[in-house]
């Protein structure tokens, strides 16, 4: 049996429910397969994005470059070279942005001690822009996480918690918080959504189990909390320097 702490706390902070502190080997392997499948789906998505997005942009750049070359040589139809050059520049900018998006999907946390803070800042900005809701990242003091393995799992936990808040919680405000307290790194994702059902269903979603699994991999604990004013908090805590 693989052990990983995950609890549900009520609005008063008391533990209401233990969310599977033990994961047997069969479940452990199933979660590993699920993570691999998620990775493979992401790779297919990235391949599709490259084919349908970046490759199309590059094809357009090639065509416009040929038109511009013919115009400048006098062999093509009369046209405004400046206009063609401006179109090429626009296509290049769009291709760069698409490639950056793909790169963020492949490696969301930059290999540096402040990479997690930067990645969470970008995640909050993206949520605000795409979903048009309030989303903020708070980190009163720098919390360096030099181990990229740990930082990436923390980022994926935040990403999954945000996804749950949007899809299931119908949240209109999400707060991401990263802090260091008492020798521990604490990541919190708080929303104002509909909250967790009471009692918690015996069949929990794969997203929660994967968050629990990721927390266990880096030696951390995962807690779900019902917020006093409504909504849910997901808190991952681990010893600083773990991993």
pLDDT at 21: 45
HEC secondary structure over 32-51? HHHHHHHHHHHHHHHHHHHH
Q: Residue 145, class by beta-carbon neighbours within 10 Å (0-12 exposed, 13-18 middle, 19+ buried)? A: buried
Contacting residues for 127 by C-beta, under 8 A, at least 6 apart:
133, 135, 162, 166, 174
pLDDT tens digits, 68-97: 787 777 765 555 677 778 888 888 888 777
Helix (H, G, I), strand (E, B) or coil at 79: coil
Its pTM stands at 0.65
d(CA 57, CA 92): 8
The answer to whether the beta carbons of residues 186 and 237 sit under 8 Å apart is: yes
- Residue of 95 and 136 predicted with greater confidence: 136
- Assess whether pLDDT exceeds 90 at residue 143: yes
pLDDT at 71: 76
pLDDT at 243: 59
């Amino acid at each position: 049996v693989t052990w990983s702490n995950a609890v549900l706390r009520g609005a008063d902070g008391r533990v209401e429910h233990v969310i599977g502190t033990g994961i047997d080997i069969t479940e452990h392997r199933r979660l590993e397969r699920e993570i691999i499948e998620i990775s493979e789906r992401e790779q297919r998505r990235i391949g599709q994005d490259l084919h349908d997005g970046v490759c199309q942009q590059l094809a357009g750049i090639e065509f416009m470059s040929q038109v511009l070359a013919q115009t400048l040589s006098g062999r093509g139809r009369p046209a405004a070279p400046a206009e063609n050059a401006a179109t090429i520049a626009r296509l290049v900018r769009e291709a760069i942005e698409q490639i950056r998006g793909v790169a963020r999907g492949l490696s969301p946390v930059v290999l540096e001690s402040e990479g997690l803070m930067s990645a969470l800042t970008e995640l909050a900005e993206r949520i605000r822009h795409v979903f048009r809701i309030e989303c903020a990242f708070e980190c009163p003091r720098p919390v360096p996480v030099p181990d990229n393995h740990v930082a990436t799992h923390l980022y994926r936990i935040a990403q999954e918690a945000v996804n749950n808040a949007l899809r299931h919680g119908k949240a209109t405000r999400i707060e991401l918080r990263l802090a260091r307290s008492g020798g521990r790194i604490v990541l919190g994702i708080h929303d104002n959504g509909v909250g967790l059902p009471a009692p918690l269903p015996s069949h929990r979603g794969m997203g929660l189990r994967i968050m629990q699994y990721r927390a266990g991999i880096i030696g951390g604990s995962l807690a779900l909390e019902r917020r006093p004013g409504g909504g849910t908090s997901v808190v991952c805590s681990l010893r600083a320097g773990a991993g």
